[in-house]
Amino acid sequence: MHFDRPMHPRFLLLPVVILALGACGDRGPIPESYDPPGSTITTGRPISDQPRRTIGFRETGVWVSNEYAGARLSDFVHVEDSLYRAVIRPENAPINNSAWYGFAIWADAPDTIAVELTYEDGTHRYVPKLSRDRATWQPIVDEDYAPDTTAGTATLRLAVGPDTTWVSAQEPWISGRFDAWTAGLPGVVRTDIGESLRGRPIRMVSFGRESSPEGLVMVISRQHPPEVTGTLAMKAFVETLLGDGPQEDAFRSRFRVLVVPLVNPDGVDGGHWRHSAGGIDLNRDWLDFNQPEARHVRDAMVSEAERTGAPVVFAIDFHSTQEDVFYTHSRDLVPNRPGLLDAWLDSIRVAVPGYELVEEASGLGSPVSKNWFFEALGATSVTYEVGDEQDRDLIDRVASSAARALMAVLERNGGA
């Protein structure tokens, strides 16, 4: 027997600071992602909001909850003895296989239980991350984690008790965390450039030369809710550009940087797998701009380019996938700063010895942000994908090196 009850008082006292995760090891193969049929049709589609509730079992004293931003838990069932099943459904389907999950679990008395993660319209992808305080996170230890790649499920062994354990596909970065981070950045201006479909603010951070810059650098992140490793790379990239040193000072005296760190706040806070509150993959809406989130980012970037009269020399969109990869434009496409791309990539390779920088170049066939930045603004544009389980320290090293490489290349006359 199970029953629902109102929000547990402990959720009223949760800390808001979320720190980066420690290094993760290789946990075996992860299902490949895909674009399902219709992904480039970006008129709005209905979504199903998960019921926010706490579920408990009187006979075992085990409790779970999804009553917090970024959680995803559709149902929770006591199967038998110490085995429970967590059912995870997406916001709508068809959908990319980025099966996000997140829930809190505790028990009236100490116990060890097994939780099977099962999915509808998807399969298991992310190695579970655990926390006792929502401030520090670690991947589950190997002996407590059994993914079944054939069934597309995973079983977790969890020690539960009166103290809450949070289980999440990745360490959560929700809208409040983004707000706290941007509020602490030195020397920046924060601007609300619009609202999401459900009224959450979309914020842009800007810094550098205010008037008559030599060029604009544009940065966006988190179009897809689960892609936390991309956010970690974006964070390191931006913080490096804001660093205190002669290279950074010289860069900011010549160039202006525009950053929209959270493009899809509804999806992130709603615990979505892929889509916005409009039921759409926002990174397929950079042609028709049917969704308000993509329109607001486009309008803000175009407005700044028009206001300053400066060329957009570089644009980067941070994402996550199964492994690190830099998606670039074909070399027969000539941007505002010819030669910048190869000089930048070569500099990263030199700066991070032993790191295999994988590049995949393509044309302009898909309606993604990278292609819009090039077609509309002439920018050298990159989609930087970070591996789901990439070592968090290496993410920081590569992204910081990428920022320093960009400053160095632009210092050499923009890479021309």
Instruction: Write the pLDDT tens digit of every residue in 21-55.
Output: 433 433 333 344 469 999 999 999 999 999 999 99
Query: For position 30, what pLDDT does the model report?
Result: 37
Indicate the range of 30-39, 86-95, 309-318, 322-331 predicted with least confidence: 30-39
> What value does the CA radius of gyration of the chain take, rounded to a whole number of Å?
22
- The residues, any chain, with a CB within 8 Å of residue 215's CB and separated by 6 or more, are 254, 255, 256, 310, 311, 312, 313, 314, 336, 337, 410, 414
Instruction: Write the pLDDT tens digit of every residue in 354-394.
Output: 999 999 999 999 999 999 999 999 999 999 999 999 999 99
- In 3-state terms the chain splits into helix, strand, coil percentages (rounded to 5) of 25, 30, 45
Query: For position 1, what pLDDT does the model report?
Result: 44
The share of the chain scoring above pLDDT 90, in percent, equals: 90
State the pTM of this model.
0.92
Tell me: pLDDT of 4 over 50. no
Tell me: pLDDT of 20 over 50. no
Structural domains of the chain sorted by starting position, each given as residue range(s) with its CATH number in brackets: 2-168 (2.60.40.3120), 175-415 (3.40.630.10)
pLDDT band of 303, cuts 50, 70, 90:
very high
What is the mean pLDDT of the segment spanning 172-186? 98
Beta bridge partners, 166, equal 104, 131
- The residues, any chain, with a CB within 8 Å of residue 76's CB and separated by 6 or more, are 2, 55, 64, 84, 85, 86, 87, 103
Query: For position 19, what pLDDT does the model report?
Result: 36
Query: For position 7, what pLDDT does the model report?
Result: 44
Q: Say how far apart CA 386 and CA 260 lie, in whole Å.
A: 18
Q: Say how far apart CA 232 and CA 221 lie, in whole Å.
A: 10
Q: Comparing C-alpha atoms, which of 317, 297, 295 is closest to residue 231? A: 317
Average pLDDT, the chain: 92
Q: Where are the beta strands (DSSP E) in 6-128?
A: 54-57, 62-65, 75-80, 83-88, 102-107, 111-119
